[in-house]
Amino acid sequence: MANSKTNTFLFTFLLIILSTTFLNSHANAVRTYNVMRFGAKPNGATDSTKGFLGAWAAACGDASPSVIYVPKGRFVVGPLVFKGCNSSDIALRIDGTLVGLTDYRVFQGYDKWISFEFVSGVTIVGGKLDARGPAFWACKLAQGGGCPAGVTTLSFTNSNNIKVTGLLSLNSQMFHIAINGCQNVQIQGTRVIAKGDSPNTDGIHVQYSSEVVIRNTKIGTGDDCIAVGPGAKNLLMERIRCGPGHGISIGSLGRDVEEPGVQNVTVKKSVFIGTQNGLRIKTWAKPSNGFVQRIQYLDIIMRNVQNPIVIDQNYCPSNIDCPTQVSGIKISDVVYQGIRGTSATPVAIKFDCSPKNPCTGIKLRDVNLKSANQVEAARSSCANAKGMAFGLVLPKSCLL
């Protein structure tokens, strides 16, 4: 009798445990929302905007982890705005291609094509974003006026815990990826492709954001491969392949008098191929209370780069109505270590700093940059730049 009661008790106890485990696992199950269930068509012609917004709305209404699935095919979509919701764990898994609308004028009044705003815990895995930029570029390059402002392909604004993996951004109208007002962002295994003469097509733009990591990413575009704007801090860029493009730039900074600084930025183990610039810091020659500090450039290869190392505090790309004052941006504690390769111009190192706020704490360590054409030896140029050189430094340092 005792054994029977014991067995019954054990059976009941196990049943309760199994039931609880099942209910918990069921409650935490990941739900999948296929965009085709909401009307999206993979035929490259039908406007699928509503289908994508419908899938997002369904996933947002579900507090459980969820996946928005984009199957193979070409999905034409207009402006997409994905705003914050109940869920803090949504993955967008893309096996297909999102294609912009054929007529770029449809984006008149918009500055973003695919925009995530006030979201947390969003992951994008795989896929291709084809913004169909060439027609828009042609309009801008014609300089006849009448073109819309253009849109950024993928934008994250005021968001946290973002991951982008294995994405291809193709032919953006303007910036390819923009990170603005975000914390804890990881971008890896991403590719950016646009023609070398495509205007204002920055690969990745980061500003007013912290704890951002960009790794194992290949960028070829018509503007900066990566641009770091005001208010960026704790940013790591590692194993970046840049070219064509304008290099990796901090700036431009100093447009406004009141502007947050840039700090704790590292670029390491990266390669620049045929770019206009390599490692660049650029500021406008006008008053500002901004700053650039604690910057590290480590283990970098330059291949036929026009300006491998440059600080330009008289930045004015159009050379029209340039400010005639001096830059108020204070640049300090910048380390260049293990920078090597070839310069396409005679001046391989150029520090053109502010006479009011000279660059300070510049460190050159184990730098070896040679002229690519071997006709004229590479040289350094310095103005208002203070610092020290360590180890082998070629061309010879001109730091004060």
Please identify every residue annotated as catalytic.
246
Which residue type, as a one-letter code, is found at position 373?
A: N
**Helix extents (H) in 114-232:** 134-142
Q: Is 285 exposed, middle or buried (0-12, 13-18, 19+ CB in 10 A)?
A: buried
What is the C-alpha separation between 68 and 44, in angstroms, rounded?
Answer: 19
| Of 211, 209, 366, 339, nearest in space to 280 by CA | 339
What is the C-alpha separation between 314 and 16, in angstroms, rounded?
Answer: 73
- Asked if 245 and 273 touch (Cβ cutoff 8 Å), the reply is no
- Beta-carbon neighbour count of residue 126 at 10 Å? 16
Q: Is 109 exposed, middle or buried (0-12, 13-18, 19+ CB in 10 A)?
A: exposed
- Asked if 369 and 342 touch (Cβ cutoff 8 Å), the reply is yes
What is the C-alpha separation between 386 and 390, in angstroms, rounded?
Answer: 14
DSSP letter at 358 equals -
